[in-house]
Structure 1
Amino acid sequence: MKLTSVSKTLCKLRITVVLFRRLARAALPALLLLVLVTGCSLFERGGSSAISHKIDQEEDVISSNGGGISNLDKLDSFMERGSGSQRIVQYTIEGDPIFIETRYKGGRLELSYDTTEDAFGPREVKTYSCDELVRTEEKHQLKYSLKGCEGEAVNQDLLTVDFDLGRQDKFEFILKYGFNHRNEINTVKQSLVKDMLNGTAIEISDFSLPQADRQSIYRKLVLANYLGEKQLSTSCNLKPHESYDLTVLINSAERHYAWSECDTGRDGKTMTEAADYIIGLVEAGDNYLQLPAATGGVK
Structure 2
Amino acid sequence: MKKFIFIVIISLVAIGIIGCSKSEAYGSEEAIKRGDIVYKNEVVNLERFEQFLINLSNKKEDTIRVTGYTDEGDPIFQDLRFDGEVIHYIFDNSNDEYAGKDKGKETDVCKEVIGKENTQGEIEYLISGCSKDLQNFLIRVEKKD
TM-score (norm 2): 0.66
Structure 2: any 5+ residue segments left out of the alignment?
Answer: 4-16
1:148 & 1:102 partners in 2: Cα distance?
13
2:117 & 2:81 partners in 1: Cα distance?
23
Per-residue Cα deviation, 1:107-162 (whole angstroms, up to 9, x for no partner): 101111111110001331111111111233455121112221112xx141422426
Q: Does residue 1:69 correspond to 2:49, yes or no?
A: no
**Mapped contact 2:66–2:138 kept (Cα < 8 A):** no
2:49 & 2:108 partners in 1: Cα distance?
18
**Mapped contact 1:53–1:99 kept (Cα < 8 A):** no
**Mapped contact 1:96–1:118 kept (Cα < 8 A):** yes
75, 80, 87: which one aligns with 2:65:
87
2:115 is matched with 135
2:49 & 2:71 partners in 1: Cα distance?
22
Tell me the C-alpha RMSD between the 2 structures.
3.1
What are the residue-to-residue correspondences of 1:103-122 with 2, within 5 Å? 103-105=81-83, 107-121=85-99, 122=102
In structure 2, give the amino acid aligned to 1:148. Answer: G
145, 156, 159: which one aligns with 2:126:
145
* Higher relative contact order structure (alpha carbons within 8 Å, sequence separation ≥ 6): 2
In structure 2, give the amino acid aligned to 1:70. Answer: V
1:156 is matched with 135
* Closer, same or farther: CA 78–97 of 1 in aligned 2, 3 Å: same
How many residue pairs get matched?
A: 119
In structure 2, give the amino acid aligned to 1:71. Answer: N
Q: Percent identity?
A: 25
In structure 1, give the amino acid aligned to 2:87. Answer: L
In structure 1, give the amino acid aligned to 2:32. Answer: Q
Structure showing greater radius of gyration is 1
SS in 1 for 2:109: strand
TM-score (norm 1): 0.35
Structure with bigger strand share is 2
In structure 2, give the amino acid aligned to 1:107. Answer: E
